[in-house]
Amino acid sequence: DQQVKQNSPSLSVQEGRISILNCDYTNSMFDYFLWYKKYPAEGPTFLISISSIKDKNEDGRFTVFLNKSAKHLSLHIVPSQPGDSAVYFCAASYNSGGSNYKLTFGKGTLLTVNP
């Protein structure tokens, strides 16, 4: 039962263009969404997040959009740079009661930005 789905295993874009990474979720209890970036042989690093009370959050070249009715979020990178080449993980969470905070991750999308 995969609650967070990244249906595109890979994406290739040209430098300077927009990269759009997509993520779908099935659990309507999720109320917080995050994107992590991972380079080979390194741990994932936090990129950007969005709460379910918002539909957009922007941080520099990175923007995350949330469509709650469609249970869909996307990460836009504009303009894309070769250094953005990495695996991007979508993650979601909800407060399951008490003080438990857990992330559920998608399978990841490998982004390749070509010079």
Partner 1 sequence: DAGITQSPRHKVTETGTPVTLRCHQTENHRYMYWYRQDPGHGLRLIHYSYGVKDTDKGEVSDGYSVSRSKTEDFLLTLESATSSQTSVYFCAISDMAGLDTIYFGEGSWLTVV
Angle at 32 between CA 17 and CA 42, to 5 degrees: 60
Q: Smallest distance from the beta carbon of 15 to partner 1, in angstroms?
A: 27
| CB-nearer residue toward partner 1: 10 or 14 | 10
End-to-end CA distance of the chain: 38
- Cβ distance 57 to 113 under 8 Å? no
Closest distance to partner 1 from the beta carbon of 30 (Å): 11
- The region of 10-18, 22-30, 61-69, 89-97 touching partner 1 under the rule CB under 8 A is 89-97
- Cβ atoms of residues 57 and 76 within 8 Å: no
How far apart are CB 84 and partner 1 at their closest, in Å?
19
Both tokens assigned to 91: 């993650």
State the residues that interact with partner 1 by CB under 8 A.
6, 32, 34, 41-46, 49, 89, 91, 93, 98-108
